[in-house]
């Protein structure tokens, strides 16, 4: 079995342990989808603000009779299962401690945050702003973007190139020359990245950095550390990408969902046992 098949088998087994009925999206597909969005989520509900954010976003996670957010292997569902909990609890500094990001002055945590890369995107030829999966914003400025990946790295082989128009944003690159050099190369070649999707990460950094100081911006790559050879390629690419931009003030900080869960057990008390048990049963 390849990594994609192992992921699907693992989550099907999890659903079976929960006596959870599943369905296929089409006649030829495997039964990898829950009967409702809520059945795929911790606590069995999707917060209204989170639902509105997904409806306004470009990903179409809630579109269709059987939508992407119902997939057992959905990275969006993983993002909701991990981070929605913290929208409902006023202890966001604990989440920041687990993620190793600044913990004071958190103003807002939001999903599908749309981040324009310049002051007049349409005039510059940008139709849609980057959508970061989760965004942490601070009262005194600064942002942390969290890009979540679960199954996607194991379905892609051919990577998209970065549009030249991003290179024309000359002011945006002044503080991050390594990112600029990487962007220039990604406009011509995928640099043999098969799993990571580096062009998307560059776009996210431009959006996070707009109207901010580079030193106040971070990008977290939140991923599922899956079994299989394909995942070994993914991990190598994560390290290679991080090494390319390591000398710039904005770095790409990887953290697996398994590492998050392990750190959460050290930080959180018994009051969060249901949350921790759910994440452990599903993603460890």
- Tell the residue number behind the tokens 């990275």, with chain if given: 75
**Residues sharing a CB contact under 8 Å with residue 171, sequence separation 6 or more, in sequence order:** none
24 pairs with which residues across the strands? 31
Q: Are strands 143-149 and 131-138 parallel, antiparallel or unpaired?
A: antiparallel
pLDDT tens-digit profile, the chain (284 residues)? 889 999 999 999 999 999 999 999 888 888 999 999 999 999 999 999 999 999 998 888 999 999 999 999 999 999 999 999 998 777 889 999 999 999 999 999 999 999 999 988 888 888 889 999 999 999 999 999 999 999 999 976 667 899 999 999 988 999 999 999 999 999 999 999 999 999 999 999 999 999 999 999 999 999 999 988 899 999 999 999 999 999 999 989 999 999 999 999 999 888 789 999 999 999 99
Q: What digits encode the pLDDT tens for the residues 27-44?
A: 888 899 999 999 999 999
Share the mean pLDDT of the chain: 93
Angle, vertex CA 62, rays to CA 21 and CA 274, nearest 5: 55
Query: For the whole model, what pTM was predicted?
Result: 0.95
- Taking a C-beta distance cutoff of 8 angstroms, is the pair 205, 214 a contact? no
């Amino acid at each position: 079995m390849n990594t994609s098949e192992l992921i699907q088998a693992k989550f099907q087994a999890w659903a079976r342990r929960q006596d959870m009925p599943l369905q296929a999206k089409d006649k030829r597909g495997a039964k990898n989808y829950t009967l409702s969005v809520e059945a795929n989520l911790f606590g069995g509900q999707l917060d209204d603000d989170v639902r509105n954010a997904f409806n306004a976003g470009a990903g179409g996670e809630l579109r269709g009779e059987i939508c992407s957010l119902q997939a057992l292997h959905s990275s969006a569902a993983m993002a909701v299962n991990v981070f929605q909990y913290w929208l409902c609890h006023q202890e966001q500094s604990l989440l920041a401690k687990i993620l190793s990001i600044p913990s004071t002055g958190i103003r807002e945590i939001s999903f599908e945050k749309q981040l324009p890369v310049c002051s007049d995107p349409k005039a510059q030829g940008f139709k849609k702003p980057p959508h970061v999966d989760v965004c942490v914003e601070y009262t005194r400025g600064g942002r942390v973007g969290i890009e979540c990946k679960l199954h996607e790295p194991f379905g892609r082989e051919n990577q998209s190139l970065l549009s030249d128009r991003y290179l024309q944003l000359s002011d945006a690159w002044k503080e991050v020359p390594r990112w600029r050099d990487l962007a220039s190369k990604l406009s011509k070649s995928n640099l043999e990245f098969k799993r990571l999707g580096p062009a998307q990460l560059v776009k996210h950094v431009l959006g996070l950095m707009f109207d901010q100081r580079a030193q106040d911006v971070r990008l977290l790559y939140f991923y599922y550390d899956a079994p299989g050879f394909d995942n070994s390629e993914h991990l190598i690419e994560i390290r290679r990408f991080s090494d390319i931009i390591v000398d710039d003030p904005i770095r790409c900080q990887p953290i697996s969902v398994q590492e998050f869960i392990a750190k959460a057990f050290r930080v959180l008390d018994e009051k969060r046992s249901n949350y921790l048990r759910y994440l452990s049963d599903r993603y460890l």
